[in-house]
Structure 1
């Protein structure tokens, strides 16, 4: 192929040498400046949000707004409000007051946790761990935990996952046991659940 028939319309190499480096530096500098400005704005915004210095009626109003959206344990609510409050002592005093007036209730948090975790197929050990993470005493729902038929709960979960048949395969049996243990059931309930035959009381 004859190069003369296909002359170069643009000398890209020459253009790059003439403008490329400057253009690249300009774009890079502009990008860095924009990124630094955005980081600064985000930092300032975050700092402003975390240092509102709420107190008195404004802190109380914010606490009510928080509680209307979600149930918080006492410890969670204190930590949440302390991020925006002027005084941690005022936060603690306010939360104690809200708790005494039943606007905040660890009892409700515990009962809601029990209900939601049971719906998700979780056993008592998992529920206790969840409550501990929220700094809620599981003793608040000791009766409910005691009255729940955890063997039935474990059995229904086993049937849903593995069917009605009682397996004699040791590997499959071990797999079923690990599954139910991971879900938070105790060994006594697990053994009864995986050994239970259909229509057996």
Structure 2
């Protein structure tokens, strides 16, 4: 190895002479080295962990910037802004104002989620659970949930996965039921979907 290309970072011989004329100074144990390293790390500056402390117009500007990128539920927006704000109370007041002015809307978030989850083949139970996770009242889209033909939704999903044949095999039927239940469909819609024949539409 070329020493000029890979220069030594430490001159060990010089270090030995510094601590002991004869170089016989006992080496520090690896455990002691690790302890010292951990001790040193514990005193590293933690500036990155400090909150920016946004407030007033700066907090409001940041809230608008966040909402232009994505729709947030009220609870989500409060939690997100609170990470960077000086005061959670100010955040709550601001988000209430943004909600009243319709810049933030749980209704819109719920409708977007309903449409998105239906496209993904998810049933009403899955959708309600996701809304609950975002702390959105399912009553906001109660009418849309009621008007959706969940039997048709479940049938289309079953056809994509298992085809149009109505099986009489109890094992296959149980598999189809589990699949649709996992997707969030209710049992009534599932049983109608897996029993529906292709000519039922004619």
TM over 0.5: yes
Q: Kindly indicate whether residue 152 of structure 2 is the aligned counterpart of residue 148 of structure 1.
A: no
Aligned to 1:45: 48
Deviation at 1:65, TM superposition (A): 1.0
Match of 1:57 in 2: 57
Aligned to 1:136, what secondary structure does the other structure show?
Answer: coil
**Pairwise CA distance, 1:182:** 0.6
Deviation at 1:88, TM superposition (A): 1.5
SS in structure 1 at match of 2:145: helix
Q: Which residue of 2 aligns with 1:3?
A: none
Q: Give the Cα–Cα distance (whole angstroms) in 2 for the partners of residues 146 and 136 of structure 1.
A: 17
Q: Distance in 1 between matches of 2:160 and 2:44?
A: 52
Structure 2 unaligned regions, length at least 5: 1-22
Question: Matches of 1:110 and 1:191 in 2, distance apart?
Answer: 27
Report what 2:171 is aligned to.
Answer: 171
Tell me the SS of whatever aligns to 1:189: helix
Flag structure 1 segments of 5+ consecutive residues without an equivalent. 1-17
Is 1:122 the counterpart of 2:122? The answer is: yes
1:113 aligns with 2:113: yes
Partners of 1:121 and 1:39 in 2: how far apart? 52
Change (3 A) 1:72 1:167: same
Q: Secondary structure at the match of 2:53?
A: coil
Hey, what does 2:186 align to over in structure 1?
A: 186
Cα distance, 1:69 vs. partner? 1.4
Structure 1 CA distance, aligned partners of 2:98 and 2:44?
A: 37
The alpha carbon displacement at 1:38 in A equals 10
After superposing on structure 2, the runs of 4+ consecutive aligned residues of structure 1 that deviate more than 4 Å are 36-39
Corresponding residue SS for 1:117? helix
CA distance in 2, matches of 1:112, 1:198: 31
Q: What is the CA RMSD across the aligned residues, in angstroms?
A: 2.6
Deviation at 1:199, TM superposition (A): 2.6
Which residue of structure 2 aligns with residue 4 of structure 1?
none
The 1-side partners of 2:152 and 2:116 are apart by: 17
**How many positions carry a matched residue from both structures?**
178
In terms of fraction of residues, the more helix-rich structure is 1
